[in-house]
Amino acid sequence: MSITLNPPPLSIPSDFAQDKEKNAFFNSLLNTIYQIWTALYGIRFSATVKTTDATPTGFMRVQVPTDKTVMIEAAVVARRTGGGSGTAGDSAFYKLTGAYKNIAGALTGIGSPSLVQGEDQAAWDVAFAAAGGYAIVTVTGASDNNITWEGTLYSYTVGA
């Protein structure tokens, strides 16, 4: 699932542009509105997925439009809810940050992603993958572990 919300186009009315005081006030007002808009709609979505084995599973994804760069922050928490391996209540947290650029349709990661984590089972993991024009956050559990993963993804886009 991918949601893209863009702020409405904002411009200064011509009569305000000619008056310095009105222009400064209107610019300040537009800046405040834009900051509120991006604060409210910076969150793209939250998601939940369940895994039962050690297969990487696509969890959340962000479209990286052509000729744009997207920075992604994913906060993920996990808890073992069943299965024959591990200990009841095993848990983990992850904060994954990275960026991708799309140049003429070719998606490329920028540098190495940053991962801050704490986990009861070392086999669990959160990472990035790329497919088509999408950057995908993947989660990997462990064999014979029922794990519920929940996360929130933020993305920031810049480009022509």
Quick check: is 154 in a domain?
A: yes
Domain range for 103: 44-159
pTM: 0.72
The CA–CA distances, whole Å, from 50 to 39, 79, 116, 140, 143 equal 29, 10, 21, 10, 13
Average pLDDT (22-31) is 71
Percent of the chain with pLDDT over 70: 76
Q: Are residues 105 and 54 in the same domain?
A: yes
Taking only the tens place, the pLDDT of each residue in 36-62 is: 655 555 545 788 999 999 999 999 999
Taking only the tens place, the pLDDT of each residue in 80-107 is: 999 999 899 999 999 999 999 999 999 9
Q: Are residues 17 and 55 in the same domain?
A: no
